């Protein structure tokens, strides 16, 4: 199995399946393409008609584009990637879909940049609203997990799941742009940043040298 990804410093969508697959010990090879270069589109077109990464290449299933489709597909084979409890699993799917199709202001104004550390950034009200909403959402997930007696590892639904992989780039953003956050959020961020698969992704991103000017925001 191969996973095609973009620059690890910047590609938030690539981060999600890579982190989840690494965390769950799935055997795969990483193919990294340099985002937005002519070679990116040329090389990608050899595999898929999708113009975006991530893409999963599976001998049996073919090429699967889109982070959510990739993780849903893998979870059929590795059901431990979702919470075991059906209520928590439904909620985990719901928050992933909300991340996938929402939080546009935060995503647009605060590009993921693993090299950015505590940068000062002017944000709009819409972005501040997204930041507040994501923190409430995380809190809701953890309260529901506690109520239903889910795992106690401190992740959104107890044990690490696809939902945490989906929000990993948000953790990088909150840290990178010195956003003031609530104590439970800070606790969750620390846990996530110390999670080996997340730390490995961040280290690989920080070691890259490519600069994407459009994703470099904030004052260092």
Ligand X SMILES: N[C@@H](CCC(=O)N[C@@H](CS)C(=O)NCC(=O)O)C(=O)O
Q: Which of 37, 45, 51, 117 binds ligand X (CB under 6 A)?
A: 51
Nearer to ligand X, 101 or 122 (CB): 101
Nearer to ligand X, 14 or 195 (CB): 14
What is the DSSP track for the chain? -EEEE--TTT-HHHHHHHHHHHHTT---EEEE--TTSHHHHHHHHTT-S--SS-EEEETTTEEEESHHHHHHHHHHH-GGGS-SSHHHHHHHHHHHHHHHH--HHHHHHS---TT--S-B----HHHHHHHHHHHHHHHHHHHHHHHTT---SSBTTBS--HHHHHHHHHHHHHHHTT----HHHHHHHHHHHHSHHHHHHHHHHHH-----GGG--SB-
Nearer to ligand X, 14 or 181 (CB): 14
Nearer to ligand X, 116 or 150 (CB): 116
Where in 59-88 is the site for ligand X (CB under 6 A)?
Answer: 66-68
53 contacts ligand X (rule: CB under 6 A): yes
113 contacts ligand X (rule: CB under 6 A): no
What would the x/- binding string for ligand X be over residues 158 to 197, using CB under 6 A?
----------------------------------------
Nearer to ligand X, 66 or 85 (CB): 66
- Number of residues binding to ligand X, judged by CB under 6 A: 14
Distance, in Å, from the CA atom of 147 to the CA atom of 197, rounded to the nearest integer, reads: 28
11 contacts ligand X (rule: CB under 6 A): yes
Among all residues, whose Cβ is closest to ligand X?
52
Which residues, 6+ apart, have CB-to-CB distance to 86 below 8 Å?
Answer: none
Give the interface segment with ligand X, choosing from 52-60, 84-92, 140-148, 179-187 (CB under 6 A): 52-60
Binding site for ligand X (CB under 6 A): 6, 11-14, 35, 51-54, 66-68, 100
């Amino acid at each position: 199995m191969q996973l095609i990804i973009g620059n690890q410093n910047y590609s938030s969508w690539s981060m999600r399946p890579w982190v989840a697959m690494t965390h769950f010990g799935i055997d795969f090879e990483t193919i990294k393409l340099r985002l937005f270069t002519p070679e990116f589109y040329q090389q990608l077109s050899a595999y898929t008609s999708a113009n975006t990464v991530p893409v999963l290449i599976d001998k049996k299933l073919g090429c699967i584009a889109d982070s959510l489709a990739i993780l849903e597909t893998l979870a059929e084979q590795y059901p431990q990637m979702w919470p075991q409890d059906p209520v928590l699993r439904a909620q985990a799917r719901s928050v992933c879909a909300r991340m996938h199709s929402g939080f546009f202001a935060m995503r647009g104004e605060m590009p993921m940049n693993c090299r950015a550390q505590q940068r000062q950034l002017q944000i709009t009200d819409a972005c501040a609203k997204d930041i507040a909403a994501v923190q409430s959402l995380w809190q809701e997930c953890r309260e529901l997990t506690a109520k239903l007696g889910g795992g106690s590892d401190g992740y959104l639904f107890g044990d690490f799941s696809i939902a945490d992989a989906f929000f990993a780039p948000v953790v990088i953003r909150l840290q990178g742009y010195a956003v003031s956050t609530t104590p439970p959020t800070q606790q969750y961020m620390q846990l996530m940043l110390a999670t080996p698969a997340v730390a490995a992704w961040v280290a690989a991103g920080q070691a890259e040298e490519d600069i994407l000017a459009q994703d470099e925001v904030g004052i260092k």
